[in-house]
């Protein structure tokens, strides 16, 4: 309830990201008027608009598919090690890593760069790694309609590394399997082998 009241108050006052950054600087004990911080509110606002631009992207528009070139293509297509950067919704701290995406076509193929864009779109929203992994897989199944797909994400979380437990050097791995990737052990094994194979 209090959150709704705060949001209504902010909306009435037309507070900007710059205003909020100035408030934050004051609350942590900084002086927003000192030389080094004068342009910080504008920079922070610009950065957060970029980091959250995924909310404004229509995911369906990413899936411009091709039937030409898809004939007789019934083997796995894998795009490995797609880099991403996002922010966790719990602390708004960065987490980042790489995603591997695979699918088996069913009459249509997708331009390979579109998978990078898909990952980036969902990463440019406040996230948890589990949801990010699932959203990518669900979008592929909904808009590409393949025989199946798989997504594996490996990431480092600064909310753990820089605060709280403060442990570095480990990563979190999540996966989402759909269609034959989930139902057929041989397909799942092939995907996992390709996703984790050393170069």
Active site residues: 88-91, 129, 157, 159
Dihedral sign, CA of 46, 86, 100, 179? negative
Give SS3 for 112.
Answer: coil
Length of the chain, in residues: 199
d(CA 49, CA 53): 6
Dihedral sign, CA of 80, 81, 83, 85? positive
Closest CA to 178 of 135, 143, 144, 137: 137
Return the structure tokens found at 32.
Answer: 């927003």
């Amino acid at each position: 309830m209090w959150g709704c009241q705060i949001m209504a108050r902010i909306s009435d006052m037309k507070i900007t990201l710059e205003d909020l950054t100035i408030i934050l600087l004051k609350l942590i004990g900084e002086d927003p008027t000192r030389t080094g911080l004068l342009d910080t509110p504008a920079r922070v606002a610009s950065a957060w608009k970029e980091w959250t631009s995924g909310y404004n992207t229509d995911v369906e528009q990413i899936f411009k598919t091709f039937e030409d070139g898809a004939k007789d293509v019934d083997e796995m297509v894998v795009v490995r090690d797609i880099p991403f950067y996002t922010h966790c919704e719990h602390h708004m701290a960065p987490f980042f890593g790489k995603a591997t995406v695979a699918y088996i076509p069913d009459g249509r193929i997708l331009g390979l760069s579109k998978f990078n864009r898909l990952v980036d779109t969902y990463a440019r929203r406040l996230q948890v790694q589990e949801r990010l992994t699932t959203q990518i897989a669900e979008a592929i199944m909904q808009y590409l309609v393949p025989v199946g797909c798989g997504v594996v994400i490996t990431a480092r979380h600064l909310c753990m590394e820089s605060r709280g437990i403060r442990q570095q050097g480990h990563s979190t791995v999540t996966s989402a399997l759909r269609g034959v990737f989930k139902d057929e052990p041989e397909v799942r094994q092939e995907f996992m082998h390709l996703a984790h194979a050393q170069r």
